[in-house]
């Protein structure tokens, strides 16, 4: 895939050979995932929030900045994507480029950086994801309902995995838990614990243990991370990593119950130094009490 990269002044400081090579790799991976054999060309603009805000307002009537915009050159029949429409693609053949032009993608570099920090991965990985997301829009995918969202997300993950930029690894999640551990407030136990909770969409929430002079008001790292995530609207989690500075720290009973409320099948990773272990939450809390075990059938109901 040929990417025509344009770096606007507001994003020019982010331009490096490494970043451009990464974007090229992600573009090729997206084309492979969609199984498109004809040569493709896409115009990609890297810009700032002000420019993408202006485009949102003029093109979509949305008065705010967003992370990525796609402007397709190809209109596909309902239920058809680029991999199944070679004739449509060939109509967009540009002899000057010797490729089929799919359209334009605009990415806000400040938005990508902010989201990378929020999700707990590198700005380069976020840029690659936003490019892939934009490309699948140009391929005819959308996310207006749950089925479309699931299909598009599956293809995005396939492309990122192929490019070597898949979702966060266990070691990376443990690293984020160790990072969170450094913020622990433990004047009484002097036992620091950090947690990193991973959502199904790949977002990471960090937490640490926070002690209190009354002892009973102390909050564990796992629940700090969980409560942050739930406040942000998250309800579905796949993993939690827990790191401590003096011993392996498996979740206490209260934390197991709190986590079980939302995702009883999540994986629990525990680390201390170079030592690591893992288990399913449902194994740590057998016969757990929560929505997944039928409590919704009677809790909160009048007799």
301 is a domain residue: no
Give 269's Cβ-side CA count (13 Å radius): 24
Q: Are residues 196 and 237 in the same domain?
A: yes
235 is a domain residue: yes
Among 162, 187, 213, which residue terminates a domain? 162
- Domain count for the chain: 2
For residues 92 and 96, what is the distance between their CA atoms, to the nearest angstrom? 12
Q: What is the pLDDT of residue 30?
A: 96
Q: Are residues 145 and 278 in the same domain?
A: no
Domain enclosing residue 286, as ranges: 170-293
Q: Are residues 44 and 145 in the same domain?
A: yes
Give residue 129's region: left, alpha or beta (phi > 0; psi -120 to 50): alpha
- CATH number at 8 reads 3.40.390.30
- Would you give per-residue pLDDT tens digits along the chain (303 residues)? 999 999 999 899 889 888 899 899 999 999 999 999 999 999 999 999 999 999 999 999 999 999 999 999 999 999 899 999 999 999 999 999 899 999 999 999 999 999 888 876 678 888 999 999 999 999 999 999 999 999 999 999 899 888 877 777 889 899 999 999 999 999 999 999 999 999 876 778 999 999 999 999 999 999 999 999 999 888 989 899 999 999 999 999 999 999 999 999 999 999 999 999 999 999 999 998 988 888 777 777 665
Among 162, 184, 214, which residue terminates a domain? 162
Q: Are residues 10 and 157 in the same domain?
A: yes
Q: What is the pLDDT of residue 120?
A: 66
Phi, psi of 183 (to 5 degrees): -100, 5
Q: How many angstroms separate the first and last alpha carbons of the chain?
A: 64
Cβ–Cβ under 8 Å, residues 100 and 39: yes
Nearest to 115 by CA among 175, 68, 62, 61: 68
Q: Are residues 143 and 27 in the same domain?
A: yes
Q: Are residues 112 and 198 in the same domain?
A: no
Q: What is the pLDDT of residue 302?
A: 63
Q: Are residues 9 and 157 in the same domain?
A: yes
- CATH number at 235 reads 3.40.140.10
């Amino acid at each position: 895939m040929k990417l025509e990269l344009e770096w606007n002044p507001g994003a020019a400081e982010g331009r490096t050979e490494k970043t451009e090579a990464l974007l090229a790799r992600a573009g090729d991976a997206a084309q492979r995932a969609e199984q498109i054999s004809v040569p493709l060309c896409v115009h990609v603009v890297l810009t700032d929030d002000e420019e993408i805000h202006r485009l949102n307002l003029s093109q979509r009537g949305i008065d705010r900045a967003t992370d990525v915009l796609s402007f397709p050159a190809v209109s596909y029949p309902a239920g058809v994507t680029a991999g199944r429409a070679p004739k449509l693609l060939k109509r967009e053949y540009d002899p000057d480029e010797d490729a089929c032009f799919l359209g334009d993608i605009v990415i806000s570099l400040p938005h990508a950086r902010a989201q990378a920090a929020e999700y707990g991965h590198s700005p380069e990985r976020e840029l690659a994801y936003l490019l892939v997301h934009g490309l699948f829009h140009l391929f005819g995918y959308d996310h207006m309902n749950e089925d479309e969202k699931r299909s598009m997300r599956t293809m995005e993950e396939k492309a990122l995995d192929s490019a070597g930029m898949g979702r966060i690894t266990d070691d990376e999640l443990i690293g984020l838990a160790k990072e969170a551990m450094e913020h622990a407030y433990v004047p009484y136990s002097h036992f620091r614990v950090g947690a990193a909770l991973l959502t199904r969409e790949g977002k990471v929430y960090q937490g640490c243990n926070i002690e209190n002079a009354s002892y009973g008001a102390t909050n564990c790292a796992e629940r700090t991370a969980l409560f942050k995530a739930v406040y942000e609207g998250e309800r579905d989690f796949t993993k939690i990593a827990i790191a401590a500075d003096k011993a392996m720290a498996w979740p206490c009973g209260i934390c197991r119950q709190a986590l079980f409320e939302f995702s009883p099948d999540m994986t629990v990773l525990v680390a201390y130094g170079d030592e690591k272990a893992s288990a399913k939450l449902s194994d740590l809390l057998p016969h757990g009490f929560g929505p997944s075990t039928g409590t919704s059938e009677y809790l909160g109901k009048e007799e």
